[in-house]
Amino acid sequence: MSNFNPFLCCVVPAHNEAENLKNFIPALSKMLKQENIRFEIIVIDDGSKDSTIEVLQGMQKDYPLRVLEFSRNFGKEAALYAGLDHVDADLALLIDADFQHPINVIPTMLSLWKEGYEMVYGIRNRETESWLKKLFTHIYYKILNASSTLNIPENAGDFRLLDAKVVHAIRDLPERNLYMKGLYAWVGFKSIGILFTEKERQCGRSSFNFKSLLNLAISGLTAFSDLPLRICIYLGILLGIFSFSYGCWITVQTLFEGAKVPGWATLAAGLAFLGAIQLIFIGILGEYISRIYSEVKARPKYIIAAEHSKNRQAVPETESKS
Ligand code: UDP
Ligand code: MG
């Protein structure tokens, strides 16, 4: 291992990150040069509306930079996946373009990889976040892990160093519903987490709001667990037993005491409750069916409109990967 000089490929998803990238690419390159490691950077332009592409093309003469330009915005998970699909290296580093993943943690990640860890993931220190967000996140991970056979580490995100073996394992997964945190855990391998404090975004705004985070959370749950479906069954059985017993009780009561007019309130409340439960369960079923539907359609996870590399600058090329 001592004479072996590994080749590192950095995968950077970018959506409207022109301002950040101007500083980020030089800062990342400087850090990696100091580490004396051979490297290249793949930036995935995920349907940016700003000058991300122009900024990157301008930097290609100074830095070992490849740019994959998506035909539209496919989302961060698809961008990461596209990056991994194009990695041709001994190891890959997944890192955000907005400086929130501190580049000074990279040397520690590299030394852990050299020690034999095949996946080194950053664990976000959530000290500065509100207690409510921390509580929700904690409960979510507890449910997710309790309901699947996986152990998805809490607060571990996409800031990670992956050995080529892990990259290939993830690339070989056929599914189109991408929940990267689940996929990293699913493939396994010798992994270790290191704590880091997330910095403030240097420029621009986060693309994730409450709704997109909720959607991602639901994707995670339905892609890696069938607990929601099982809850439907258990609750259905429970309600069935309850309503059957209640029906018996009413029959007996009517037989002994005669029919009473009152009772419509109980009936109305019961019906409304059951209606609500049914709607929720139909929603859960629909969630799984829509996932099956998108897998069956077998559309590509992303479409690359053009690939800009150092040697083949700005040669348009249409490519679709699955
Ligand atoms: N990103 C992307 N596609 C998107 C949204 C985000 O490639 O549709 C990139 C973004 O440019 C950044 C990273 O994913 O490099 C993290 O996004 P962001 O900072 O908006 O999310 P947060 O840090 O708030 O989770
Ligand atoms: Mg960010």
Q: For the residues of 22-69, what is the DSSP string, one character each?
A: HHHHHHHHHHHHHTT-EEEEEEEE-S-SSSHHHHHHHHTTTS-EEEEE
Do 137 and 262 lie in one domain? The reply is no
Q: How many domains does the chain have?
A: 2
- CB neighbour burial string for 288-312, b if at least 16 within 10 angstroms, e if fewer: eeebeeeeeeeeebbbbbbbbbeee
Q: What is the mean pLDDT of residues 261-267?
A: 69
46 CB near ligand 1 (under 6 Å): yes
**pLDDT score of 319:** 44
The CATH number of the domain where 152 resides is what? 3.90.550.10
* 190 and 293 both lie in a single domain: no
Which of 191, 8, 193 is CA-nearest to residue 92?
8
Closest ligand, as measured to the CA of 17: 1
Asked whether the predicted pLDDT for residue 258 surpasses 80, the reply is: no
274 with 305, same domain: the answer is no
In a domain, 322, yes or no: no
Q: Is residue 271 part of a domain?
A: yes
Q: What is the pLDDT of residue 179?
A: 84
Ligand 1 within 6 A of 301 CB? no
Mean pLDDT computed over 172-191:
86
Answer whether residue 136 shows pLDDT above 80: yes
Task: Return the ligand number nearest the Cα of 49.
Answer: 1
How large is the average pLDDT for residues 128-138? 81
* 128 and 46 in a common domain: yes
144 in a structural domain: yes
Residue 315 has pLDDT above 50, yes or no: no
Q: What number does the ligand 1 atom closest to the CA of 75 have?
A: 8
Ligand 1 within 6 A of 244 CB?
no
For the CA of 80, the nearest atom of ligand 1: 7
What is the mean pLDDT of the segment spanning 264-273?
73
Q: At what angle do helices 264-297 and 227-257 cross, to 10 degrees?
A: 160
For residues 272 and 203, membership in a common domain is answered with no
Tell me: pLDDT of 273 over 50: yes
Provide the mean pLDDT of the chain.
84
Q: Does residue 243 form part of some domain?
A: yes
Please answer whether residues 89 and 40 qualify as being in contact, where contact means their C-beta atoms are separated by less than 8 angstroms: yes
Is there an atom of ligand 1 within 6 Å of 29 CB? no
How far apart are the C-alpha atoms of 247 and 169, rounded to whole Å?
Answer: 55
In what side-by-side order are the strands of the sheet with 7-14?
Answer: 191-197, 119-125, 156-163, 91-94, 7-14, 38-45, 65-70, 302-308, 315-321
Range of the domain at 274: 227-297
Q: Do 220 and 241 belong to one domain?
A: no
Task: Tell me whether residue 321 is in a domain.
Answer: no
pLDDT of residue 316: 39
| Banded model confidence at residue 256, pLDDT cuts 50, 70, 90 | confident
Asked whether residue 1 is assigned to any structural domain, the reply reads no
Reported pTM: 0.74
- What average pLDDT does the segment 278-302 reach? 82
Q: What is the pLDDT of residue 210?
A: 77
